[in-house]
Every structure is written in structure tokens, then in C-alpha cells.
Structure 1
Amino acid sequence: MKKVTIDQLEEGMKLAQDVFTESGKLLLPEGFIIKPSLIQKLKEHNIDSVYVEDEKAESYVKEEVIYHETFVAIQDLMLSAKAGEIVDPFVAKEIVNDIVAQIIEEEDVFLRIVGFRDVDNYTYFHSVDVSIFAAIIGKLLELDRKQIEDLSLAALLHDFGKMKIPHEILNKPAKLTDEEFEEMKKHTIYGYQIVKNMDGISEQIAEVALLHHERLDGSGYPLKLKGDKIPLFARIVAIADVYDALTADRVYKKKIVPTKAADYLTKYAGVHFDKDIVQKFLKMVVKYPVGCFVILNTGEIAIVYEENPFNKTRPIVKVVAKKEGPPVLKPYFVDLSQDNKREIIDVINY
């Protein structure tokens, strides 16, 4: 452990002690990995130094770099599509290959990062997260590497058609009218037209933009396909798309916690979504990674200390603060698998 000034603090360093504000409120807990946004937060609170571990969390930094590069790439490509320019997917292909390489080595490697986004850039972050979730599913289904790369790329490009939807509809902070929803549904057709004309993009990849809102019972759009008539890639991306949308803040709707999103997918498994894929996906993804901040139904704020391999929604947590009442002077551990009165109700994103 060593003490460093804020100017010496670097991305990837790991906090060795809790950091508090001048008023005594917990700002960042021990074990948090430093990111640029956190350095800025420390500066805003006039924190001049912190204690960090001697070694960086190198692997986490690598995933963050890949995630950021993917965000920048998809943003550039989507803005090109919006401007009616020719879209070259070469950079996206290269970055997707990096994502897949990491996931093949360790499928949950990006789960700490997905979901950290701002509402204004929702579509871009959503595309990156769906690409990651789709790649995870591809590995769980034991697809070969080339298939996973194609699947992940298809997921990254699945919402390109939204660039052709009027801004006032795409970012409306209220429920769409029937007329507006009919226009929104056209993003599947617009997206297919854009993606299929990209250089080197196969029909299998392009059709995901068209078919990711199809549902097994025929209630989806635009073609109302049923069951196995919906291609595998589209069935996978449909699940990744809905899960990510439910667990993210949007202009018209607050996010829900992963367990509630899991309940939704489970309810419609076999009706809207492929049941086998839903079960495999949720078993992997619905968990709270070590180091993430959570809020309990008791108002306690905790950091996830250790995962529970038998029930990933009920980890061991370290309570470090409370939303109301006296401060927590001495943090304490709670094993949620043994405590039925407490449950996680939200995740705090920094």
C-alpha cells in the first residue's frame, strides 16, 4: 500500500482504503478500480491524496480500453450512417475480434464494465453492451470463434437504423404515441438496408438488424416470424437487447436491477425468447461483480466483497454506509445467501 497525490493517481490503480468527503460521507470504497471519471470526482470533492495498492489492476484496464475503443468506433460509424455517408466497418470488426478474444478466455471479463453509461449516449453504449452480451451467449452455446465474432459484430450493428429515426421520437422523454411507435419500428428496416450495404458484411450479420425484435410467438416485428423461422443470431441478440435495455436508464424509463430483468426474461422464455438461451445467459450474467457498489432494501450501501457461486444474486457484501441515519463507523459483512431479510435493490454507477 502507498499514498499518492491526485495528480499521481493513474487509471487502473486500486484503492487500498475507503475515501471519505470532508463531511465524513463515504465517497469511494476500498477495492475500487480508478477510472478517469473517478479521478475527476475526487478532484470535485477536494481530495488531495489517497491510498492505493502497490500494483495496478492491469486486466481491468485492458477491458476498459477495449470498451472505450468500441464505444468511439460505433459512435463514429453511426454518425456516418446518420449523415448518409458510406460506412466502413473495418475498425468495428477489429475491435469486435478483441472483445471476443477476451470473452473466449474469460466470459465474464466485461461484466464489471457494462451498464456504465449516460442517457444522452444510450444508443452507442447499448450497442457495445449488446455486442458483449451476445458474445458471451455465443461462447455459452459453444459456437466456434468465427461464429462468435460474426454474432458480436451483428449485435454491435443491430441498432444502426435508429440513426434514421427523428431525434424527437428516438429521445422522447415519454411513452411514444401509436403513430410514433410505428415510425420507431422502421429502424429494423432502415438498419438492414444500411448494414447489408457495408463492405464485407454477410447476410447472416445484416439480418440481425432486421429481425432482433421478432418474437417466438409471432408477436414481434417487422415480419412477425415464429419459432425457428427466426435465425439463431437474431434470437440471441433479442435477449441481449432486452436485458440491456431493462437494466439501463433511458430518457423515458429508469433502469431495473438485474434480478428483475431476469424475472422478465424468465417469464417470457419460450413465449417471446428462446428458453434455452435465456437460461444459459441468466446463469452467467445476473450477478454482482466484486467491487461494485449496491444498495440494499434496508437503505444500507455496500460493496460486493465475494460472489456466491450457488446464487450469484446473493453475494457477500461489505456494508460501508447508509442512505439515511447515522454513518457506518465500522464496516461490516453480510452474507446475503444467509440473510433473507436483505436484498439488493440497485447498483450504484460511478
Structure 2
Amino acid sequence: MPTVLLNQVKAGDKLTRDVQTKLGGTLFYKGKVLMSREIEILQAFMVQSVVVETKEGSEEHQSAPPASSAKEEHASEPAAPATAFEQEYFNTVNLLKKVHRQYSPGQVFPILEIRKQLELLIGHIDEYSVLTFIPDVTDTYDYMFHNSVLSALTSYLLARWGGFKQRDWIPAALSGLFHDIGNLKVDRELLIKPGTLTASELEEIRQHTVLGYQLLKPVPAINEGVKLASLQHHERVDGSGYPLGMGGDQIHPYAKIVAIADTFHAMTLKRAYRIPMSPYLVLEEIQKESFGKLDPALVRIFIEKVTRFHNGTVVRLNDDRVGEIVFSDRNHLTRPWVSVNGTIVNLTTERQLYIKEIVKL
């Protein structure tokens, strides 16, 4: 088990000892296979050497391998198996797509099948991270299904975090899952149109709220709060939303939850007409919206919970530097202090910088 200088580490080397940062955080654990991305992170943290598994002898690390051999090793690296959470997540997305594809007016809505699948997914909720689980949506039409499933997961958590009774948690998740169900009756081409919508097209899109409520209303297995969330999730506390311009206590609590979840995921997922935003910038936008638009108490809980970092969390800034969170100010939860190569970057004062993403190790 030789100790190898970082500039002699080869793609495919396996760690036999944890790699620690200077501040005591763990960058990589024993057994991690180092590829180009991991080596880049080690370089960013100025790690001088690592302990790797012996193959044919420590001499093999005295010089860098030929480029072709590194490529061959990289190509042969087995893909990480999907987690149980990921498997159930994509099962839920695919079920929604199936319902949308097969639905016709007058058809019995398959609520029991959908609820059963959602409960299977919720069974793995502890594996879900709001900030880091952002699927790569490659198909424009698929955005709608990913947004719905993610909104379901986040709505479930927000109901739990917000002190709602346990009997409300699954209905809150169903509210997130069905909030855009009215799009079943909206022209598909309009839903994926990349350019600016005309006034009449925008009005047609907005009708998905009313259409969704009408679709869910006759379904006895769905409670009224879930149905109202499909109607009201674009209403705003100050009465500036649609379709009815409701405000304050007129809006059902489930709809207030879904409004936050939907806003977050709509801005962090890739869309046909724009690139996704950093989750941390989106949180700041949501915080601004809490002044008159979104429920301020729920927004505060949401931001507190999803930004509950441990010191040592590795993040990438918008200038592509990689660093380690060393301090979080409770008054500026989206802007902690980050140690980059031993230099502290205070995101509270250096406003041009922000966290682009958490680096998954």
C-alpha cells in the first residue's frame, strides 16, 4: 500500500486510506477509485499524497501512464448502480409519462396505482437531497414529469418540516405530484414551445390550474386539499396570482407548500428556453418572494432545512473554484464561508460569488 505523490496518481488507483482536508473534513473514503474528476478535487485542496492499493508494485507510479492506457481504464470503469431511491424515482416519472400518454377523456384516473408508486418512492425519502438531486432532463417534454415528482418529494418534506400532522404528509406529496395534472388537456406543442408565448397562449397555459381541478374533482380517493392545490398553486399571498387572484388564508396550505416546491424545481431544472439556475441563487429568489408572494413561515423553514450544512461540505463556486464550507451564518444561510486553498471566501460580503453546486464525493 504505497504512499504516492499526487502527480503520480493514475486514473483507476483505489484509496486504501481516507483522504482528509487540512480542516479535518473527509474528501474521499477508503475504497474510492480515483478518476480524473477526483484527482482534480485533490489538487484543488492541495493534497500532496495519497495511499493507494498496490497493483504490480509501487514503481508503476513513478511516471504517468500513457494517455491511451488512462482512457482504457476510464472506459472500463463500471457505472455505479442506481440506488433504490433513484430506481423508484424513475419508476414514478415513467408512470406519470404513461398516464399522460394513455389518458383520454372519460377514462378512470389510476389514482391507486399512482399513490402506491408514490408511497414506494417516499419510503426512500431519507436518500433525497433537495439541493443535490437534480436530474439531467434531456427531453423538453420530460421536464413536466420530473418537476411533478420532485415537487412531490419536496412538498412531503416541507409538510413534515413545517409541523403539519403526519396525515397531511402524503396528501401534500400528492399535491406536488398532481399540481400540473391539468397539462393533460393543454396542447403539447404549446407546453414545449421554446419562444415567447403570446398573450392568448399564456392564458391557455394558465388554464391548466382550472383544468387540473376539474380533472381531479370527481376522483373520490383524492381529498379536497389535493384538488385545491392543483387549482391554487399559482395563487400568491398578496392576491397577485392566478387563476382567481386569491390571497392569504383563502389559499389552501397544501397549495402554499406546492408553490414553494414548484418554484424551486422550475428554476433549477433544465428548460427548453433557459439553462438551470444554481439552487443557491434560487433559494435567494424564493426568499425575496416570501415578502408578499410566498408564505414567509414556510419559506424560512424550507431554506433553514435545505441549507443545513455540516462543516467540511465540499462545494464549487460560480468561478469554478472548489472549496470547503467552514462556517454558516444563520442570517445568511445561502452564503456560508468557504475555504479555497486555505483562503476564506466570505460569500456574505463577496456578493459576485455564489455556490454553484455541492461536489458529490
**TM-score under structure 2 normalisation?**
0.70
Identity %: 26
Q: How far apart are the structure 2 equivalents of 1:279 and 1:70? A: 29
Distance change >3 Å, CA 135–CA 166, structure 1 → 2: same
User: Which residue is 1:187 aligned to?
Assistant: 208
Question: Displacement of 1:338 after TM fit?
Answer: 8.2
Q: List per-residue Cα deviations over 1:277-306 (Å, max 9, x = no partner).
A: 111111122478999996423343x4x766
User: Which residue is 2:294 aligned to?
Assistant: 273
Structure with higher RCO (Cα < 8 A, 6+ apart)? 2
Is residue 36 of structure 2 the alignment partner of residue 20 of structure 1? yes
Question: Displacement of 1:272 after TM fit?
Answer: 1.1
User: Which residue is 1:167 aligned to?
Assistant: 188
User: Which residue is 1:72 aligned to?
Assistant: 94
* SS of residue matched to 2:103: helix
User: Which residue is 1:346 aligned to?
Assistant: 356
What pairs with 1:305-316 in structure 2 (closer than 5 Å)?
Answer: 310=329, 313=334
Distance change >3 Å, CA 294–CA 173, structure 1 → 2: farther
**TM-score under structure 1 normalisation?**
0.72
Is residue 112 of structure 2 the alignment partner of residue 90 of structure 1? yes
Distance change >3 Å, CA 262–CA 338, structure 1 → 2: closer
Q: How far apart are the structure 2 equivalents of 1:298 and 1:333? A: 17
* SS of residue matched to 2:356: strand
Match of 1:232 among 253, 256, 279: 253
Higher alpha-carbon deviation: 259-268 or 335-344: 335-344
What pairs with 1:238-277 in structure 2 (closer than 5 Å)?
Answer: 238-277=259-298
User: Which residue is 1:153 aligned to?
Assistant: 174
Q: How far apart are the structure 2 equivalents of 1:132 and 1:161? A: 20
Question: Displacement of 1:250 after TM fit?
Answer: 0.9
Specify every segment of 5 or more residues in structure 2 that has no aligned partner in the other structure, as ranges.
2-11, 14-29, 44-70
User: Which residue is 2:132 aligned to?
Assistant: 112
* SS of residue matched to 2:226: helix
Q: How far apart are the structure 2 equivalents of 1:334 and 1:76? A: 51
Say if 1:308 and 1:337, in contact at 8 Å, map to a contact too.
Answer: no
Say if 2:174 and 2:226, in contact at 8 Å, map to a contact too.
Answer: yes
Q: How far apart are the structure 1 equivalents of 2:89 and 2:339? A: 28
Q: List per-residue Cα deviations over 1:108-128 (Å, max 9, x = no partner).
A: 556532444334210000001
Count of paired positions: 306
